[in-house]
Amino acid sequence: MKIQNLKIRIQVFIPVLFGCFLFTGNAYAMHISEGILPWNWAALWFVVAAPFVAVGLHRLKKLSNTDLSFKPLVGLMAAVVFIISCMPIPVPTAGTCSHPCGTGMSGILLGPTISILITAVALLIQALFLAHGGLSTWGADIVSMGIMGSLAGFLTFRALRAIKINIPIAGFMAGLLADWATYITTSVELASGIKGDSPFMPLFWKILIAFIPTQLPLGILEGAMTAGMVVLLYKKRPDLLVKMRVLKPEEVAA
Residue 23 lies in a domain: no
* DSSP string across 21-46: HHS--S----SSPTT-S-HHHHHHHH
Residue 132 lies in a domain: yes
Q: Which long-range contacts (CB under 8 A, 24 or more apart) does 54-60 make?
A: 55/113, 55/116, 56/113, 56/114, 56/115, 56/116, 56/117, 56/118, 56/120, 57/117, 59/111, 59/113, 59/114, 59/117, 60/114, 60/117
In this structure, are residues 207 and 191 in contact, taking their beta carbons and an 8 Å threshold?
Answer: yes
Residue 7: per-residue pLDDT: 46
Residue 237 lies in a domain: yes
Alpha-carbon distances of 238 from 83, 231, 252, 253, rounded to whole Å:
25, 9, 7, 9
Residue 205 lies in a domain: yes
Residue 2: per-residue pLDDT: 45
Residue 26 lies in a domain: no
Task: Find the domain containing 115 and state its range.
Answer: 38-253
DSSP 8-state symbol, 93 = G
Q: Roughly what angle, to the nearest 10 degrees, separates helices 103-110 and 200-236?
A: 50
Residue type, 138: W
pTM of the model: 0.83
Residue 254: per-residue pLDDT: 54
CATH number at residue 156: 1.10.1760.20
Residue 18 lies in a domain: no
Residue 22 lies in a domain: no
Number of compact structural domains in the chain:
1
In this structure, are residues 114 and 74 in contact, taking their beta carbons and an 8 Å threshold?
Answer: yes
Residue 230 lies in a domain: yes
Residue 92: per-residue pLDDT: 59
Residue 90: per-residue pLDDT: 67
Residue type, 191: A
Torsion on CA atoms 59, 61, 67, 70, rounded to nearest 10: 80
Sign of the alpha-carbon dihedral angle for 121, 215, 107, 23 = negative
What is the full per-residue pLDDT of the chain (254 aa) written as tens digits?
444 554 444 444 444 444 443 434 444 455 787 888 999 999 999 999 999 999 999 999 998 888 878 888 898 899 989 988 887 776 655 555 677 889 999 999 999 999 999 999 999 998 888 877 789 999 999 999 999 999 999 999 999 999 999 999 999 999 999 999 999 999 999 999 888 778 999 999 998 998 888 888 889 999 999 999 999 999 998 888 888 888 877 777 65
Q: How many CB atoms lie within 10 A of CB 240?
A: 16
Spatial separation of the C-alpha atoms in residues 47 and 142, rounded to whole Å: 11
